Structure 1
Amino acid sequence: MTELITAFTTLFVIIDPIGLAPLFVALTQGQSAAQRRGIAIRACLIALAILVVFAFVGESLLEFVGISMPAFRIAGGILLFLTALEMLFQKRQTRRQGHTDDAAEDHIDDPSVFPIAIPLIAGPGAIATIILLTEEAASVLDYASVFGVLSAVLLLVFLMFLIAIPLERLLGRVGVNVVTRILGMLLAALAIQFILDGLRSFGLAP
């Protein structure tokens, strides 16, 4: 039980469902409630699939293609930084308004895979954590326990996303624009931290 609590706490802190909720609001600004529910479901399922795959073959896969975890962290940080710039300068909303084809718009502006599923949910930290947790598993029951804990954390992420949907109505358009800019700055800082952590692992940053 102690190990399960430790695993749950670790994944909860790394994935941070509470912190993801306002980011979800900002990244899905202008989407309908139904679209947001679909994005939330897809993002959580994709993140679950990614983390399960990495739990079994993650370390071997990265070694096979010659990618280190620090390099993976740096790449995730760069991609997050580009998303943060879009949030800061409202490029996502401008691009959305420029599309008249709803189908094309849904395809282009669906953030369920990137950046919500990866790297916000299934980021380098979560991937490294799930690899470490499964490395310590010695039986089928241990694996089942880890995946049960992972599923519980992702369920909390999904519930926080659903709670975040009415948050936009509460804030109003001006409030959402303010929050989007602030979260864009925070996301940019998080992206830089990812990059610095990766560089530090290579010995290139203090």
Structure 2
Amino acid sequence: MGLDWVDAFNWKEIFTISMVLFAVIDIVGSVPIIVDLRNKLGHIQSEKASIVAMFIMIVFLFVGEEILKLIGIDASSFAVAGSFVLFFLALEMILGIRLYKEDSPSTASIVPIAFPLIAGAGTMTTLLSLRAEYEKINIIIAIIINVVVVYAVLKSSAKIEKILGNNGLGVIRKVFGVILLAIAVKLFASNVKQLFA
């Protein structure tokens, strides 16, 4: 089992998955919401929010496919559906429009920060879509990398907002939106053929 995991380990996959999750989680784009919460309540439980978000994502990565089997959906179908979700998330980021977004949380506790701000519907869908394409070990490592980034952003959200400003945040969102759009197209192309095979 251990050797299988070592063989499956791939830095290129980890980098790609990390970029996808970073774009979907969009923690940098959420900085204004986080700053607003910090101003209102004085404190955000960064450690707990990050750990709980990581736990939710890893559990869903493993249990999610079992849920799919239970309701009779194959991974390729879900990956194609996930590619549409990523496509629309990317459009939101690139065009600055609001197709779908959870309500801004009103209190800074584990629930609104860890879920749905970090591990929201888009993240859950993305994880299952990625599972159809990549090895689980690489996805887990990419989740951990993203959680470390999320924790750093939560801890220094006020500084990030001051350094980047609204224009800087906007540029970052658009760049990752384009990356996400390209990944959505690749995910669709590589899985849609299997549906008609």
TM-score under structure 2 length normalisation:
0.65
Aligned to 1:194: 187
- In structure 2, the residue matched to 1:179 is 172
1:32, distance to aligned residue in structure 2 (A):
1.8
Partner amino acid for 1:201? Q
How many residue pairs get matched?
176
Please give the alpha-carbon distance, in whole angstroms, between the structure 2 residues aligned to 1:46 and 1:100: 20
How far has the Cα of 1:163 moved from its partner? 3.5
1:176-204: CA deviations, max 9, x gaps?
A: 10111121122122112222222122348
Give the one of 82, 97, 106 matched to 1:102.
Answer: 106
Q: How far, CA to CA, are the matches of 2:72 and 2:179 in structure 1? A: 31
> Which of 115, 123, 136 is 2:128 aligned to?
123
Q: How does 1:65-144 map to 2 (within 5 A)?
A: 65-92=71-98, 102=106, 110-116=117-123, 118-120=124-126, 122-126=127-131, 129=134
Partner of 1:6: 7
Alignment of 1:46-61 (within 5 A): 46-54=56-64, 58=65, 61=67
SS class of match (2:33): coil
| Contact 1:22 1:164 (8 Å CA) reproduced | no
**Equivalents in 2 of 1:109, 1:154: separation in Å?**
16
Is the alpha carbon distance of 1:53 and 1:201 closer, same or farther for their aligned partners in structure 2, counting shifts above 3 Å? same
Match of residue 38 from structure 2: none
Deviation of 1:101 (Å): 8.5
Coordinate RMSD, CA, aligned: 3.9
Larger mean CA deviation between 15-24 and 194-203 belongs to 15-24
For residues 170 and 130 of structure 2, what CA distance do their matches in structure 1 show?
29
Verify the 8 A CA contact 1:15 1:126 in the aligned structure 2: no
Aligned residue for 2:120, secondary structure, equals: helix
Map of 1:136 onto structure 2: none
1:119 CA drift (Å): 3.0
Report percent identity of matched pairs: 18
Q: CA deviation at 1:76?
A: 0.5
Aligned to 2:147: 158
Report the structure number with the largest CA radius of gyration.
Answer: 1
Quick one: which amino acid aligns to residue 92 of structure 2? E
Of 162-171 and 64-73, more deviation after overlay is shown by 162-171
Give the whole-Å Cα distance in 2 for the aligned partners of 1:198 and 1:84: 19
Counting helix residues as a fraction of each chain, which structure ranks higher?
1
Deviations 1:23-51 (A, max 9, x none): 53344241226377666444322111112
Which consecutive unaligned segments of at least 5 residues does structure 1 have? Answer: 134-145
Distance 1:125 1:109, change over 3 A: closer
The verdict on how the C-alpha distance between 1:18 and 1:182 changes in structure 2, with shifts beyond 3 A counting, is: closer
- Residues 11 and 129, structure 1, Cα contact 8 Å, conserved in 2: no
Q: 1:15 to 1:52 in 2, by over 3 A?
A: farther
SS at match of 1:67: coil
Q: Residue in 2 aligned with 1:32? A: 34
Which residue does the alignment assign to 1:137?
A: none
AA partner of residue 165 (structure 2): G
User: Contact 2:27 / 2:118 at 8 angstroms: preserved in 1?
Assistant: no
